[in-house]
Amino acid sequence: MLSTMQDVPLTIGRILAHGATFHGRSTVATWNGEKAVASSFAEVGARAAQLANALRDELGVTGDQRVATLMWNNTEHQEAYLAVPSMGAVLHTLNLRLPPQQLAFIINHAADHTIIANCTVLPLLAPLLPQLNPTLRHIVVVGEGDLAPLDGFSGGVHRYEELIAGRSTDFPHPAELDERTAGALCYTSGTTGDPKGVAYSHRSMYLHSMQVLSAESFGLTSADKVLPVVPMFHVNAWGIPYAAFMAGTSLLMPDRFLQPQPLAAMITAEHPTFSAAVPTIWTGLLDELDAHPGTYDTSSMSRVVIGGSACPPALMKAFEDRYGINVIHAWGMTETSPLGSVSHPPAGLGPEETWRYRLTQGRFPASVEPRLIGPDGTALPHDGESAGELEVRGPWIAAAYFGGDGRPAEQGEKFSEDGWLRTGDVGTISSDGFLTLTDRAKDVIKSGGEWISSVELENQLMAHPDVLEAAVVAVPDEKWGERPLATVVLRPGTGTGLAELRAFLAERVAHWQLPERWSIVESVPKTSVGKFDKKVIRKSYAEGELDVTTLRKGE
C-alpha cells in the first residue's frame, strides 16, 4: 500500500523562498569593526537571486559545477550559501586556515569552477593560482581593495557588487532538482592524510536544519539572534545559516573580527541570544570578560553551544556562575553534517545529576542511530560503562567520500562493511541515549594494558584557576609502552609550578594516570578549526623541541 502524501522535494531553494518571503523582516548583520550593518532576509533573498543570475548568465554556471567560497562569516557569504545550491550548483566552502598545499589540493580535487573570495584573503589565494587546475574559470572578489594579487590569473576576475548589479531578482530555479543531489561540499581538516570531501544532499541539509531548530538541539526561533562564531567553512557553520533562514532567526556575522575584544563588543552592542563556537574561542572570551568587569553586557546571551572538541567543565561552570550563560555540549563531525548529539539533561533531576548529564556530549536524536564496537569487532551494550568506538548512521550521515571524478569515492576503512560511519571516537552510551566520549581512538593513551583518557586529564588540569589551556598526549615509554605528557599554558602573571599542578591533578585522578612528563608552553598548537593539534605536540616531543620536566611520586 502506498501513502497518499505529496512527494515534494526537500531542497535549499524551499528554505530560501520561505525565509525571504515569510521571515522577510529578520536580518543578517555583519560586524565591520565598529558596528553591525544589517540587511533583511527579503533583501538577502533578492541579492541571492541576483548572484544566481550572474553565475548562470555571466560566468556559465549552468549545472552542478562547484562554486567555492573563501570567505569569513558575513552577509555575502550567506547570499552564496542560499544562491548556489538553490540554482542546482554545489557550494564548496574553503577553509582559509588550512595550509596552502592542502587548500590547493582541495580546490583541484573538487574541480572548482568559480571562487568567491573576500578581498582580505586574496594574499592567501593568489600564491595558489599557479598550482590550480584550468577547471577554475572565475574569481569573484567581495569588498573593496586592490585586485593586483590576481594579475596572473588567466580566467575572469570580477567584483561582487558589479557582477550582481542590475540583475533580475527573480530566482532562476532549475526545472528539476532531485533532493538527493549534492548541494554543498565540505572537506575534512586533513589531520591525517589528505582532506576528504563530504557531499551533502539537499535532503540531508533540509532534514539537518529541522533538527538544528528542534527543542532537543539548538531550539532556535524567530525570537532569537544568533552569533555564529563557528566559521561558515567549518561544516556549514554547524547548519546554522540554513536553519536560521528556515525559522526566521536573525544572524549577527562576526566577519574576520574573531578576537575576544571585538566579540565582547558585538555581544554588548547587538544583544545576540545564542552563539556557537569551539572551546578555544570561549576560553579567550571568558578571559576578556573577567579582565574588564563591568565593561561588557552579556545579559542577552542565554545559551551557547560548544562543539568541535570537549569543553572543559571549568569553562562551563565559569560562564554559568559569573555570567548566567548556559553552555550546551554538542558532538559532531564533517561526516555527520555535523549535528550528532546535543546535551539537554532530562527533566526532574537534582543539581548534581543534571550537571553529570551536561558534561556528556549529549543525547542522540531519533535520526542518528549509534552503536559501540569493541576491539574484537562486537557490538557493546549501551550501559554507560562499556567503552568502544562510536559508529553512527542516519539521513545526514556520510556513506562515502567524494571522488575527484564527481562521483562518490570508495568507502574505505572509515566506513563499516554494513554501511556505518566509523567516527574514530571512543566512549560510552547510557541506556537513555547520552554519549560520553573519553578520547579519540588515535589519542587514547595505552599504558601497561590500561587506557588513560587524555580528555579527562585535560579537563581536570584546566579546572585549575591558573591554567589557561592543557593538552595531553601519549609518548613512548620503555616500561609501560605509553605514558601521558602534559603540556600546559599558564595564565600571565601566575607563579604556579609544575609540582603544584601535579598535586592538584593527583587529587582528581587515579595515581597511575598521573603524567610524569610536563612542559610549560606559550600556546597549544591548533588545527584549522581550532582543535588541539596533538600530532604537532607529539612531533615536537619526538624531535626534542619541548622543554620537558620529569616529576614522579614525592617530587
* C-alpha distances out from residue 96 to 72, 144, 310, 528, 529, Å: 9, 19, 23, 8, 10
Q: Which residues contact 499 (CB under 8 A, 6 or more apart)?
A: 551, 555
Tell me how far apart the alpha carbons of residues 217 and 175 are, in angstroms, rounded to a whole number: 34
Q: 12-22 and 41-57 helices cross at what angle (nearest 10)? A: 140
List Cβ neighbours of 302 (8 Å cut-off, separation of 6 or more): 273, 274, 325, 326
188 is catalytic: yes
Residue in 120, 135, 169, 451 annotated catalytic: 451
Query: Concatenated DSSP letters for 162-214?
Result: HHHTT--SS----S---TTSEEEEEE---SSSS--EEEEEHHHHHHHHHHHHS
Q: What residues have CB less than 8 Å from 97, skipping those under 6 apart?
A: 231, 528, 529
**Looking at 79, 335, 458, 469, which residue is catalytic?**
335
Give me the amino acid identity at 495: G
Q: Which three cell numbers stand for residue 422?
A: 566509523
- CA-CA distance, 499 to 495, in Å (whole number)? 12
**Which residues, in sequence order, are CB contacts of 495 under 8 Å at separation 6+?**
none
In contact, 132 and 107? CB cutoff 8 Å: yes
Q: Is 451 a catalytic residue?
A: yes
Q: Which of 21, 35, 162, 446 does the annotation list as catalytic?
A: 446
Of these residues, 11, 30, 75, 188, which one is catalytic? Answer: 188
Q: Which three cell numbers stand for residue 333?
A: 563531525
Question: Which residues partner with 184 through β-bridges?
Answer: 91, 200
Tell me how long the chain is: 555
For the question of residue 512 being annotated catalytic, the response is no
Catalytic positions are: 188, 335, 446, 451
